[in-house]
A and B are shown apart, each in its own frame.
Chain A
Amino acid sequence: MPDVYDAIIVGSGACGGWVALELTRAGMRVLMLEAGPRVDPADQFRHRFPFELDYRGRGTPGLLRRYAGTERNYRIMIDNVENPYTTSPETVYSWGRSRCLGGRTLHWARATDRMADYEFKAASRDGYGMDWAVSYAEMKPYYDRVESFIGVSAAAEGWPQFPDGIFLPPMALNCAETIFTAACQALGWPSTHRRLSQLTRAHNGRPPCHYCGNCVNGCDVGAMFNPIAVTLPPALATGRLEIRTDSIVARVRMNGENRAQGVTYIERESRTAVDVDATWVILAASTLENTRLLLLSAKGGLANASGTLGHYMMDQVSGGGVSGFLPVLKGGPSRLDDGKMAGVTIPAVENIDAKTQRKDFIRSYVMNATGGQTEFPQFAANLPGYGSEWKKEVKSRYVAQARVWIAGGEMLARKENFVELDPEVKDHWGIPVLKIHFTHSDNEYKLIADFQRKAEELFRKAGGEMMPGPVTPAGFPGGAGSPQSAPVRGGSSPERPGPARRPLGGSIHECGTARMSVSPKEGVLDSYCRTHDVPNLYVFGGNAFPSTGDKHPTLTMMALTARGCDHLIARTRA
C-alpha cells in the first residue's frame, strides 16, 4: 500500500470503472473507494422465477420500503434507512441509487445513445440556458473509444439527430416491434432498434446475450456492460488497482496549496475514519453524491467560486405513455418477446433544427415502443370479468401486449432546482444528507403533452387498442390492499403546496449541479470535467451536463470521462 497513490477514485460505477481502466493502463497506481459491498454475480444474478422467491418478487412485507427495486435485485440497490435524503415541500422526486461495486450499471436499462449537436449547442439555437463546452466533433473520438470497448448492438441509420457509432449487429425485432416499425414508416417518423450496450456476439472476451430478460436483476454472464464484468477486470489485471469496498467517503481533504490532498473515508462496519492521500482525486460516485461530497468538503462547497455548485439540477422527464394491445397478435402462440428487454427507438423529430422549431415548447424527446409477452400480465386484474372465459382472454392478450413510453424528455436547467446539505438529517455514519429542491416548468408539461399526442398517434397507426384506466392496476405494488404496497424511495415529501398539477416523473438520469462552463464564473467544471478551482480534482458523472438532452446519459458520461482521463494523463506527463 503506497503512502500516496497516484489517484484516488471515489465510486465504482460506469465512470469510476472507466477511470480505473484508463489510469492503470497509463501506469498509475490507483485506489478505488466504493461505499457499498462487493457483488457476486454467480450467486446474486441467477435466473429465478417469481415462484422461486419467497414473496414472488415483492419481498418480505416492508422490505421494499427500505430498498428500491424488487425482491430479485434489492441487494444491488441502496438501503434507504442507512442512506436517507430529504426534499423540500414542493418537491416530488425519487432519487434512484445503488451502493455496491459496479453501481447502477448492474441493473441499468443499457440504452447507449450518442448526443448530437442539436443538444450540445441547443442554447445557441433557441436562446435558453448555456451551450456545452464541447461539441459533437470533440466528443466523437471518445464515443468511439467507449463503444468499441464495451460493445453496443445497434443499426447505423445516418440520422443527424441520432449519431451512429461503432456497432455490433442489432438485436432482432419481435412481432410488436415490427408492427411499430411499420407504423413509424407510415407516419414518416424514423425508428430503429434500441441501441444497447448488450452483446449480440462475443466481444472482448465476453459472451453474447442469452436473452433471458433478466437485465435489471443483474447479468449473470457479463453480456451487458457493467464495470464488474467489463472495465474493472482489465484494470485489476494491471496489478495497479486496489479496490476498497464498504468505504464511505466523507470529504475531500485539501492541502495549503489549493490542491486536493486526498479523502477521508469511514469504514462501513467499524465506523473508523481513514485518511488516504493521492496526487489526483477523482469523484465518480454518481451525480448527486459527487455534489454532496463537494458540499461536505468546504464551507460553502469545494470548488464553488462560481456559486453554481448544487444548482441547475435536472433529470430527464417522464410520464404518460400508452399501454394496450395489438389485436393482430391476440391469441397467437407464446413467444420469447421480452428476452432482450429492448424495443424500438423513435428519435426526436421536434426542435432539432430551425425547420422543426415549435412555438409552444423548446427541446425534445425520444420515444420507445415494444410489446408481446412479459413475465407478469399487469393488465389482467383490470380486465373485467372472471372465470374460464376471463382466463382465456388473459392468455389471448398476454402475447398481444404493447406499449409506447418516453425514453427521455429534456428538462430545462433552472437555477432554482438545487441540492444542499440538510442541516438536520444525517446518514447512518453521521454524514449530512442531501436536501433536494426540484420542480418542473411549463415547458416540461408541454413537452410531455406533445409526447402523449404522438404516442397515441403511433399506437393508433399500429392498430393498437389502448388499455383504459391506470397503467398500473390497483392492488399491485403501490396499490391499495397489497401488503407490500407503497415502496418508499427514501425521500420525504410532505404536504405539497402549489397548483394541483400531476407531478411528472424522472428517469433516474439526474444531472447538473456542477455544470461545465468555458468561464469559471459560470460553472464548476471545465470541458474536461476538472474543477475550475482545484487543479487536481476531477468530477465524472452527470454533474457536468449544462442540459439534459433527450438521450440516455450514461454513454455521454463515459465519453466525457474518457476525455477527462486523457487530459489528466497528459498532465502527469507534462
Chain B
Amino acid sequence: MSDRAQLTRRDLLKLTTCALAASGASEFFTAWLDAAKAPAHLHAAQDRPALRDYQPQFFDADDFAALQVFTEILIPTDDTPGAREARCAHFIDFVLAASTDAAPDAQAQWRDAMRAVKASGFHTASAAERERLVAAMARPERERGATHPAYFAYRLIKQQNTFAFYTSRAGLIEALDYKGNRFNASFPACEHPEHRVVPSA
C-alpha cells in the first residue's frame, strides 16, 4: 500500500477534533451564512460578532490584513458584493488553520505566498500602489514571457479567493443569481427558435 492509504483512524479522529476545536467553529459558520444577505451589505457591514471580532488563526495580523485587501482588489465590491462581504480572507484563514495535520504542504505554500507578497512591498504600500503591485503580479497571466516573483502568490490567492467567493451566499446568489438547489414545478425548456439552428460560421 502507498502512504496515502495508510491514513489511520487515529489520524482522522485527530483531524476532526482539530477542526472542531478551531476558533469556535459553529458560531463562525453560522455567522457567514448571513454574510451579504441584504442589499445593505454594500454600504454597511452586517457583521455578527463572530465575524466582526474575528481573530485570524493561521495568518498573523499583518498578513491577514494584507490578504483581506488583496482579495478585495481581486473581487471588489461594485454593483454586486465582493470578497469583503463574502469574508473570503476569513474563510481562507479558517480552513488553513484547520489544516495543520491534514495539509501541512498547503500551509507551507501559503506561508511562502504571503512572504512573496510582503517582499513585493504590498503590506506597507498605499492603496494605489497596492493596485499597481497586483497588476504587476498578474501580468504573466496574460502576457507570454512576462514573469514576476510573486506571480505564484497571485495565482494561489486568486484560486482560493474565487472558490471562497463563489461558494458564499454573496457570490453564488447575489452575484451569480444561481437558480438551482430549490423545489421547482417544472424544468424550463429552451424557447428560443434561434437555438434550433447552428450558428453560421
Contact = CB atoms under 8 A, between A and B. Distances in A.
A351 B171 CA distance: 47
Contact of B98 (A80, A181, A483): A483
Given A339-B187, A474-B159, A483 B102 contact: yes
A60 B19 contact: yes
A49 B103 contact: no
Contacts of B43: none
Contact of A336 (B95, B160, B179, B192): B179
Interface string B3-17: 011011101100110
Interface stretch (B44-52, B60-68, B70-78, B120-128): B70-78
Contacts of B190: 172-175, 177-178
B184 A339 contact: yes
A493 B74 contact: no
Contacts of B107: 483
A328 B169 contact: no
SS class, residues of chain A in contact with chain B:
loop
Interface string A44-73: 000111111011110011110110000000
Contact of A210 (B98, B110, B184): B184
Contacts of B186: 172, 211
A307 to B, nearest CB: 28
A533 B4 CA distance: 39
B59 interface: no
Contact of A490 (B5, B168, B187, B198): B5
Interface string B159-201: 1101110111100110111111111111111101011111100
B118 interface: no
A334 interface: yes
B106 A481 contact: yes
A39 interface: no
Contact of B5 (A480, A485, A491): A491
Given A81-B8, A385-B138, A182 B95 contact: no
A530 to B, nearest CB: 36
A214 B75 CA distance: 28
B119 interface: no
A475 B156 contact: yes
Contacts of B142: 384-385
Nearest to A86: B1
A502 B171 CA distance: 36
Contacts of B148: none
B166 A377 contact: yes
Contacts of A61: 15, 19, 95, 98-99, 101-103
A381 B162 contact: yes
A529 B185 CA distance: 42
Contacts of B54: none
Given A175-B192, A336-B179, A377-B166, 16 more contacts: A47-B181, A50-B168, A51-B167, A60-B16, A82-B9, A84-B5, A211-B186, A212-B182, A375-B172, A384-B141, A391-B76, A461-B198, A463-B198, A475-B159, A480-B109, A481-B156
Interface of A: 47-52, 54-57, 60-63, 65-66, 80-82, 84, 86, 171-175, 177-179, 181-183, 186, 209-214, 328, 334-340, 373, 375-377, 380-381, 384-388, 390-391, 394-395, 398, 425, 461-463, 473-476, 479-485, 488, 490-494
7 contacts: A51-B32, A338-B180, A339-B179, A475-B160, A480-B156, A484-B102, A490-B5
